[in-house]
Amino acid sequence: MKLTREATEYLTVGLLAAVLLAFTMTLDPFRLNNVGKYLSFGFVAIGIVLTWGYGGVLSLGQGIFFGLGGYMMAMFLKLEASAPELPDFMVWSGIEALPVWWEPFYSLPITLVLIHLIPAVGAYLFAYAIFRKRVSGVYFAIVTLALAMTMTVLIVGAQSTIGGANGITDFRTFLGMDIVDDASKMVLYVLQVLVLFTVMLAALKLTNSRLGKILIAIRDKEDRVRFSGYNTAHVKAAVFALAAVLSAMGGAFYSLQTGLIAPSLIGVVASVEMVIYAAVGGRLSVPGAVVGAILIGFLKSYLSETFPEYWLYFLGSIFIFVVLFMPKGLAGFFDRLRVGRALGGEAR
């Protein structure tokens, strides 16, 4: 049986979703919740596959958008948890009236719209302004890195209005439903897997469309694309905005899964880790990105428990190994096996 590359990708995504759903029957609630946490980074990693793997745009600031989604969801949950009072950290800081920009987050529909809209518009305008000036490659990465750093500094400084270094925590209901008990965690997990499955299908559709080819073309020969009549700054900014939305979705799920969002989850280190997820899974593979996020997430949990002081060295070594020896990550490794078998075991 010989499958095309595209069919193999769809099959892999289907299998991955099936395995993730099967976890509900095999894993205990604690571990399942952990997997849910890793999956929220899977959303971010898919976005990185699209912008970096396909479009050649490396962002070291995806944590910004993860944070935007996470914080907006947490603001909604926190308002619900503390109603009719103000959120506790505001009370401690002596704030007497809710800041105006918190108001929209009383409403779930508005919160959900803003979680998608703000990162999309913000990311598009930012990226278009930069790409139009022909800033790209490592310079773009540095700008995003600086932004991620700025964002954490701003949040840490805003103790009274957004919770500062502690972040926003201590919320346990979602529309009155307890989100800490096992049954609702299960529901949340299944919902997240279904949304992730849909996102993976959409991302595959994108990479296999003409737009996907255009992104590859921009990555390899941007000038040629420009002189074929494309506004490449617009195309790149649009995909960057899409990746921002995916990151924000991941952030929102993260807040729901863990009951916590904090500046440390969205800063420079977190943002670089997100790139490692995509690199390990394979920067050209949508399901690979999700697998990378789960794998590194699991390793991180395991190693940081076992070797609390050294696990960052492990993470760094994995990244260097992948960059040096597996430029297309795990997905590239399996792809070579598949192609090798199709050629009757010939070496390639």
Partner 1 sequence: MSASMQMARDPEQELSIRNENVASEETFRVEDLSVSFDGFRAVDNLCLSVAKNELRVIIGPNGAGKTTLLDMICGKTRPTEGKVIFDGEVVSGLPEYQIVKKGIGRKFQTPSVYEDLSVFENFEISMPDAQGVLDSLFFKRDEAIRERVSRAAAEVFLADQLHRKAGTLSHGQKQWLEIGMLLIQEPRLLLLDEPVAGMSPREREATAELLTRVANGRSVIVIEHDMDFVKRIAHKVTVLHQGRLLAEGSADEIQSNPKVIEVYLGH
Binding site for partner 1 (CB under 8 A): 205-206, 209-211, 213-214, 216-217, 220-221, 223-232, 234-235, 238-239
Contact 7, 163 (CB under 8 A): no
Contacts with 283 (C-beta within 8 Å, 6 or more apart), sequence order: 48, 49, 52, 53, 289, 328, 329
Q: Please state the closest distance from residue 205 (CB atom) to partner 1, in A.
A: 8
Q: Please state the closest distance from residue 212 (CB atom) to partner 1, in A.
A: 9
Decide whether 168 or 238 has the Cβ nearer to partner 1. Answer: 238
Decide whether 31 or 205 has the Cβ nearer to partner 1. Answer: 205
Decide whether 229 or 344 has the Cβ nearer to partner 1. Answer: 229
Decide whether 45 or 235 has the Cβ nearer to partner 1. Answer: 235
In degrees, rounded to 5, the angle at the alpha carbon of residue 269 between the alpha carbons of residues 264 and 270 is 65
Q: Please state the closest distance from residue 209 (CB atom) to partner 1, in A.
A: 5
For 9: left if phi > 0, alpha if psi spans -120 to 50, otherwise beta; the answer is alpha
Decide whether 103 or 220 has the Cβ nearer to partner 1. Answer: 220
Q: Please state the closest distance from residue 229 (CB atom) to partner 1, in A.
A: 4
Decide whether 159 or 231 has the Cβ nearer to partner 1. Answer: 231
Contact 249, 64 (CB under 8 A): no
Contact 318, 296 (CB under 8 A): yes
Q: Please state the closest distance from residue 284 (CB atom) to partner 1, in A.
A: 10
Q: Please state the closest distance from residue 245 (CB atom) to partner 1, in A.
A: 14
Contacts with 234 (C-beta within 8 Å, 6 or more apart), sequence order: 128
> Which residues are registered as beta bridge partners of 185?
none
Give CA–CA dist 87/169, Å, rounded: 10
**Residue 250's closest CA among 67, 15, 57, 22?**
67
Contact 88, 170 (CB under 8 A): yes
Contact 73, 255 (CB under 8 A): yes
Contacts with 176 (C-beta within 8 Å, 6 or more apart), sequence order: 80
Give CA–CA dist 337/99, Å, rounded: 57
The dihedral formed by the CA atoms of 192, 115, 123 and 247, expressed in degrees to the nearest 10: -20
Decide whether 200 or 268 has the Cβ nearer to partner 1. Answer: 200
Q: Please state the closest distance from residue 217 (CB atom) to partner 1, in A.
A: 4
According to DSSP, the β-strands at 177-178 and 168-169 are unpaired
Q: Please state the closest distance from residue 127 (CB atom) to partner 1, in A.
A: 13
Give CA–CA dist 79/262, Å, rounded: 17
| CB neighbours of residue 137 within 10 Å | 10
Decide whether 86 or 217 has the Cβ nearer to partner 1. Answer: 217
Q: Please state the closest distance from residue 208 (CB atom) to partner 1, in A.
A: 10
